[in-house]
Amino acid sequence: MKFSIIVPTFNNLKYLKCLVYSLNKNSYFRNQLIVHVNDGSDGTLKYIKKNKIQHTHSNLNISLCDSVNKA
């Protein structure tokens, strides 16, 4: 079984790295990870692109619901 995991983030690169590491280390399946980057001025967007993680992006912090829907 495979799951789609949607993660909205707003300049939380440290915690996003922890999440990605944990999913890769502890998940038996290769789940689909979709991250919505709100702003990303802390390097989040660069990290996402470098690691080829599926994502959407907005230039400002949109609401949680809008972030999930956009992803």
Q: Using one digit for the tens of pLDDT, what is the confidence trace for 4-22?
A: 999 999 999 999 999 999 9
Residue 35: closest CA among 12, 5, 65, 11: 5
**Residue entry with tokens 């038996």:** 28
pLDDT of 27 reads 86
Each residue of 24-59: pLDDT tens digit?
999 888 889 999 999 889 999 999 999 999 999 999
In sequence order, what are the beta bridge partners of 33? 5
Phi, psi of 67 (to 5 degrees): -65, -45
pTM of this structure: 0.88
CA angle 33, 37, 43 (to 5 degrees): 105
Q: Does the pLDDT value for residue 1 go beyond 80?
A: no
**Residue entry with tokens 């912090």:** 61
pLDDT of 29 reads 84
